[in-house]
Structure 1
């Protein structure tokens, strides 16, 4: 209660119900503002770090390396999907780069960011200050997760945009022939590239939740980062074993390369919906585990 409210109450009388209600309402209005301020601070810190920009630059360099290699060698039908189409249309540089980055490079960078969310604060001795009210532990977890998701978006767009630009510079561009054999305009091709980038972001949301949970288990960020990246690799290895067919639909990496359906006419949204539902399940499970662990954890640093 403010000093003006205290002076408005005569000596010996209890504060009025209206003043208490006003104070409570003001506190409730303040909580969302605190959450947005915390999120803004988190994103600001994340994108001021050299490590963040180094990872984004490394991802953007992958389509550059692919394009230069194809330009020098003249291309080949052997290799990742869409590689043989690059010489005829530079738009396929971006598509090829995304295919290359999804299995390893994107999960690796996401593992670094997600694994550092809580453990990194603990290792720097700043975690106990962040959980002090009005921030709170649940709000802090939500902000850290959203920060990881935003980085996932930035990472996917870094690959897609860099691929589109370098393809435009080194190769001819024009209407794109889809997997279904239908030719679409260059503008529509870029729209589909954006949709594929969003598909990949959705694919990585489950991994972000896993990394967040692992980050609550330790004060050593390197351990959480490594564990997150290793789980991404293990999931993909298990997905390749035919003996585990029954397990495949439950693996968070199962639909990672299903974005080929977005390059058909008409677009098939089946894999997108299945992927989103699967990632939502991982977010719910590992988000709940993270909440359970973090809300009962003794924070000493």
Structure 2
């Protein structure tokens, strides 16, 4: 964690998560036309709770996979790039301890980055647009207090999938030993999953894609809440996380690092 805190990339990423929503809200709030073809795009001028949901839906396409992989995709491959594995493993620690420590650090960074992005987005939207009631997906009017809770719950619902993308980035980082591949591959795979999810006739496959749980918050914004997608998305995210981390762990355990 100390090593991560010293890296400019991680600090700039958190700074971007804090500042980017301010610029986005200012730009969209200053436009007369609304992005009506996107969920909650029509309401971004009428409720400060619609903008965070609009950004949440947009971020699911590629921003979230990028946030999850910006550290996780490099945290193992960086040691290969600099040839420091032998140095690390002479410090009276096992490969398993190194794996757990790096995985925990990458996961904590993903959660922190998501939280900073959420707080900045919600806070900026409420400050610049207001706290007007929000219209739900089934046309019901949601009061300001309930709307805030639902918006925060919606952002929190993406965390399991974010952890899943973090595990995927760790797997790519361990397997390829290439930092660029570790960061880029989850983003590309996330885009492919999103495209596959938009194709009709493959509903069963779509349910098991890691990108699908990023949309499970829709059920919170209806008149009668339905939690099936949230529950199934949690299971899917857990499955991806366990499989990716298990494969990455055993790959690291079997690796020959005598060369560096």
Q: Which has the larger radius of gyration?
A: 1
Alignment match of 1:103 (pick from 52, 55, 61): 61
CA distance in 2, matches of 1:80, 1:64: 20
Decide whether the 8 Å contact of 1:207 with 1:252 is kept in 2.
yes
Structure 1 match to 2:89 = 131
Structure 1 match to 2:226 = 268
Deviations along 1:161-194, whole A, 9 cap, x unmatched?
1122221232221333332444444333222222
Decide whether the 8 Å contact of 1:94 with 1:164 is kept in 2.
yes
Of the structure 1 ranges 197-206 and 48-57, higher mean CA displacement relative to structure 2 is found in 48-57
Task: Write out the 4+ residue segments of structure 1 that deviate beyond 6 Å after TM superposition.
Answer: none
Structure 2 match to 1:87 = 45
TM-score (norm 2): 0.88
Deviations along 1:234-292, whole A, 9 cap, x unmatched?
22222222254442222211222121112234532211110110111111211111111
CA distance in 2, matches of 1:75, 1:56: 30
- Count of residues in correspondence between the two structures: 259
- Pairwise CA RMSD of aligned residues? 2.2
Pair 243,189 (structure 1): closer, same or farther in 2 beyond 3 Å: closer
Alignment match of 1:193 (pick from 131, 151, 155): 151
Structure 2 match to 1:282 = 240
**Structure possessing the higher relative contact order (Cα contacts under 8 Å, 6 or more residues apart):** 2
Structure 2 match to 1:295 = 253
- The reply to whether residue 247 of structure 1 matches residue 201 of structure 2 is no
CA distance in 2, matches of 1:47, 1:97: 27
Pair 174,246 (structure 1): closer, same or farther in 2 beyond 3 Å: closer
Unaligned runs of 5+ in 2: none
Matches within 5 A, 1:145-164: 145-164=103-122
Of the structure 1 ranges 270-279 and 55-64, higher mean CA displacement relative to structure 2 is found in 55-64
Alpha-carbon distance, 1:212 to partner: 0.8
Decide whether the 8 Å contact of 2:52 with 2:125 is kept in 1.
yes
Matches within 5 A, 1:1-301: 42=1, 44-76=2-34, 78-132=36-90, 134-299=92-257, 300-301=259-260
Pair 265,127 (structure 1): closer, same or farther in 2 beyond 3 Å: farther
Deviations along 1:53-91, whole A, 9 cap, x unmatched?
322333444433332223222342524211221211112
Decide whether the 8 Å contact of 1:160 with 1:193 is kept in 2.
no
Decide whether the 8 Å contact of 1:75 with 1:86 is kept in 2.
no
Deviations along 1:213-238, whole A, 9 cap, x unmatched?
11112332112222222222222222
TM-score (norm 1): 0.77
CA distance in 2, matches of 1:201, 1:174: 27
Decide whether the 8 Å contact of 1:91 with 1:173 is kept in 2.
yes
Pair 243,188 (structure 1): closer, same or farther in 2 beyond 3 Å: closer
Alpha-carbon distance, 1:134 to partner: 4.2
Structure 2 match to 1:11 = none
